[in-house]
């Protein structure tokens, strides 16, 4: 973290590096919903105090194929791209992308019966949501 210039004051919690609460979900690839087998492929993290909502993901073709070789991993990546667009509030994300950050996180974390699903919501405290996202991706996906 950089130090603010002399005489200036940080304007937000994020600028000050203070610990803030966050919520996250681990994203799962469930190639065959009927079998309920899955691999972790990503993480969505939401921090209300810093207006941070972001997704990071890695799809391993080999790991997905181990569960079901007929799964189209390009479609999985497209689903993740759509979820990332919702995080960013992109115009292409439809109605979900035009809602508040908390509503977008709720939409992304909602249970669904599709190939890409979110696990349960967890929480924590961090002073750097972006670094926390990278750490969670490393811990749960890599």
Residue pair 67/115 in contact by the 8 Å Cβ criterion: no
Alpha helix segments (H runs only) across the chain: 13-16, 61-67, 73-88, 94-97, 101-109, 129-140
Tell me the domain boundaries of the chain: 19-49+62-140
C-alpha 116/C-alpha 83 separation (Å) is 10
Contacts of 76 (CB under 8 A, 6+ apart): 29, 41, 59, 64, 115, 116
What predicted TM-score, i.e. pTM, was given to this entire model?
Answer: 0.86
Residue pair 35/66 in contact by the 8 Å Cβ criterion: no
pLDDT tens profile 42-100: 999 999 999 999 999 999 999 999 999 999 999 999 999 999 999 999 988 888 889 99
Q: Where residue 123 falls among pLDDT bands split at 50, 70, 90?
A: very high
């Amino acid at each position: 973290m950089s130090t603010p210039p002399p005489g200036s004051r940080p304007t937000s919690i994020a600028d000050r590096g203070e610990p803030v609460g966050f919520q996250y979900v681990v994203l799962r690839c469930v190639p065959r919903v009927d079998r309920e087998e899955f691999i972790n492929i990503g993480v969505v993290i939401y921090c209300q105090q810093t207006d941070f909502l972001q997704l990071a993901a890695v799809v391993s073709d080999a790991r997905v194929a181990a569960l079901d070789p007929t799964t189209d991993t390009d479609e999985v990546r497209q689903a993740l791209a759509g979820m990332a667009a919702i995080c960013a509030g992109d115009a292409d994300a439809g109605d979900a992308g035009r809602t508040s950050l908390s509503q977008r996180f709720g939409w992304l974390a909602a249970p669904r019966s599709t190939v890409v699903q979110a696990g349960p919501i967890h929480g924590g405290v961090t002073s750097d949501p972006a670094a926390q996202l990278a750490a969670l991706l490393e811990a749960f996906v890599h």
